[in-house]
Structures are given as C-alpha cells and as structure tokens.
Structure 1
C-alpha cells in the first residue's frame, strides 16, 4: 500500500464524485477500499482543509480521554467518532484505545523528542 499525497487524496475524492467506483480507485491508487471510503466521507464532512499540509497533529490527554469515553461508554463506533473529530485515519483511534487498555485504562501522553542516551558508554574490548 502506498502513502497518498494531499493531491492524490483530492484526486480520489473528485474522481469518486464523478462516479468512479471505490474498487477501481482502490486498484488505481493501491489503497484498501475501506480507506477510500473513509477518505471520501472525511472530505465530505470537513472539506479539503482537513487534509493537512503541516506536521502531525497532537492531541491532549484530556481530549483523548473524552474521545475514548465516546467509544467505551457511549458505544459509538470507532469510524464514526474518527470521522466526527476529523482524524486522518480511524487507525489512530484504534491505537489510542489499545494503548489506553495496555496502560491500565490510563491515557499516557507520548513524550516528544528523542529518548535520552544512556549516560554510560559501552566498554570497548581491549585486545
């Protein structure tokens, strides 16, 4: 599966609106049909501005918890919530949920930057 550029996503949306089938678009762009359908629905709901041009978006711990609760407590579907809040992919929400469950039902914020290097240097073998 190839990574789509912003221009590819716009092309897919416009070709779909002209009547091209989802299976044909999926084959042409080497993307799963479910991804095409999600992309079309996303642009339909939020417009082209939802297709980011900048860096990855970051979300606060509180926001993630609110969204996770919509799924676990309100029983909303992952796809509908992801579409509603404008996530680029519902997979992001799947990741949030699995990390949430992994960490004892706590939202853990991802640390920014590189992991610190070990303070001790590995010993070189003397020969």
Structure 2
C-alpha cells in the first residue's frame, strides 16, 4: 500500500507549482523527511499529469528487448534514472536501477523473464512421447546454445560501445589539458 494518497501528493505538488513554498519548506511542512521525494512527485506530475502521482495497481511486464534497450541507454549516456524513466515513460525509476544492477551482476540472463512456480509433472508418458521429448530436448539444447552465444555477442557489443565512449572522453580530456598547458606556456613566452 502506498504511504501517501493521490490526493495528498497532488495537494503538495500543486502548492509547489503555485509558488506557495519551495521543496525544503513543503517537505518539512508535510513531514516528508527529505525533499527528494517531493521533487520526484513534481517531475512525475509534470511529465504524466495525475497518472504520474497515482500508485499503479497493475504489474507492467516489459519485454527482454525493451529492458535491454533501456539498460543500454543508461550505460551509454549520462542521464539519471529519473530522467531516463521520464524519457521512456516508466513511472518508477527504481525499476531501471534494478535492471542495470542485475545486468551488471549477472549479464543478459538477469533481464529475461523466468517462469515462477513448480514445474508440471507428466502423469503418464507413452514411449512415443518419451522419444519425442528427447528429440525436442536436443533441438532446444542447440537453440539454447545459439541464444547464449547471441547474448554474449550483444553483451560484448555493449561493452565495446561503452569502452569506445570512455576512450573518446579521455582523449577529449587530454586534448583540453594539452591546450591549457600550451596556452599557459605561450602566455609566459609573450610576457618575457
């Protein structure tokens, strides 16, 4: 259950937007603890309207490709979880944080959805069914191997793009440093 009701959140956000106080003042006035929560509500309200303040009861299911796309965006750009959530229309920035952390720890498989619960057991199997299951299993194993290789390739591509961007930024930084040192030596030569 949500700690604060929709009506309460909207009241506080509208007070802020009407100029009745800043985030520190309103956070203290309503006992929010820190003003970061209020800032999140304000950003959500500005981007999504009333829907941004409502606690969603439905569990949104995101595809593996979409999760991977969002993780790639976060890792290759310099945006915060909050900004990326607003950009992608996700109401909960912590969800993106969760995806990124799981991806960094366990790789691509962590982003795949896994069925929960106990596996179904077969009551009775005919010999035809058993041989068919064996054939399907060998096919699934090779497909699984291909999937693992594709996942590894994708992970390496992401890592490669990240390292290229890091190298580019480092080279830019070195060039700026050289320019600064060059301009300071030129000014010293001119003063003599």
Quickly name the TM-score band, shorter chain normalised. 0.7 to 0.9
Alignment map for 1:26-45 (pairs within 5 Å) = 26-27=27-28, 28-45=30-47
Partner of 2:60: 57
1:1-42 CA-partner distances (Å, limit 9, x unpaired): x82222222122111112222113323142431121121012
Structure having the larger proportion of residues in helix: 2
Aligned Cα root-mean-square deviation (Å): 2.7
Partner of 1:88: 91
Higher relative contact order (CA 8 A, sep 6+): 1
Which of these two proteins has the greater Rg computed from alpha carbons?
Answer: 2
Q: SS of 1:69's equivalent?
A: helix
1:46 maps onto 2:48 in alignment: yes
CA change 1:110–1:5 in 2 (3 A) is farther
Alignment map for 1:1-127 (pairs within 5 Å) = 3-19=3-19, 20-27=21-28, 28-50=30-52, 51-111=54-114, 115-116=117-118
1:42-99 CA-partner distances (Å, limit 9, x unpaired): 2112211233453232222111111111111233332210122233332221111101
Unpaired runs of 5+ residues, structure 1, are: 118-127
Structure 2 contact 99–111 (Cα < 8 Å) conserved: no
TM-score after normalising by structure 1: 0.72
CA change 1:82–1:17 in 2 (3 A) is same
Matched positions, count: 116
Unpaired runs of 5+ residues, structure 2, are: 120-192
**Greater mean deviation of Cα atoms: 51-60 or 61-70:** 51-60
Q: SS of 1:99's equivalent?
A: helix
Structure 1 contact 64–107 (Cα < 8 Å) conserved: no
State how far apart, in whole Å, the 2-side matches of 1:105 and 1:112 are. Answer: 16
State how far apart, in whole Å, the 2-side matches of 1:9 and 1:41 are. Answer: 12
CA change 1:73–1:106 in 2 (3 A) is farther
